[in-house]
Amino acid sequence: MALVHQHENVRIADMVGQEPQMRRPRPSPRQITQAEEAMLWLRWLEPEDGRLVWARADGMAWKPICWQFGLSRTAATKRWQYGLAVITWRLNGRVPSPRRSQQFVIENANRLSRKIVL
C-alpha cells in the first residue's frame, strides 16, 4: 500500500506547476441541432468533396488531408473552396450549373456571401 501512495505522490508532484487542461463545454441542444443541419449540407457535394470539407471542418491539418486524398496543397484548397462555394450557393436557393468552372462558382459564392452579410 505504501508503494501505491508513493507512486501517487510522484504523479501529483509531477503535475505541480503545470497548466491546467481546459475542457470544452458540452454543446447545447441548439448547437447540436445546428451541427446536425450543417452536416446535411454535405449531401449537396460529391462524396469525395464532402469528405474533404468534413475533414477540414473537423480540424484536420492540410498535410494529412493532402496525403489522404492524394492531392497537392493547392488542389486540396481549391476543392475545399469549391465545396464551401457550392454550399453557399445552395443556402441561397441556387444550384450552380455543372457546366460552370470551379473558379466561377467560387467567385460568385463570394459575391453571394457578401450580399448576405451586407
- Averaged over 95-102, what is the pLDDT? 91
Q: Which of 20-24, 27-31, 69-73 has the lowest mean pLDDT?
A: 20-24
> Given a cut of 70, is residue 3 above it in pLDDT?
no
The model's pLDDT over 40-60, given as tens digits with 9 standing for 90+, comes to 999 999 999 999 999 999 999
Q: Is 76 exposed, middle or buried (0-12, 13-18, 19+ CB in 10 A)?
A: buried
pLDDT value of residue 9: 55
* Cell reading at 31: 448547437
pTM: 0.72
pLDDT value of residue 99: 93
Distance between CA atoms of 83 and 88, rounded to whole angstroms? Answer: 9
Q: Which of 1-5, 53-57, 77-81, 85-89 has the lowest mean pLDDT?
A: 1-5
* Cell reading at 34: 445546428
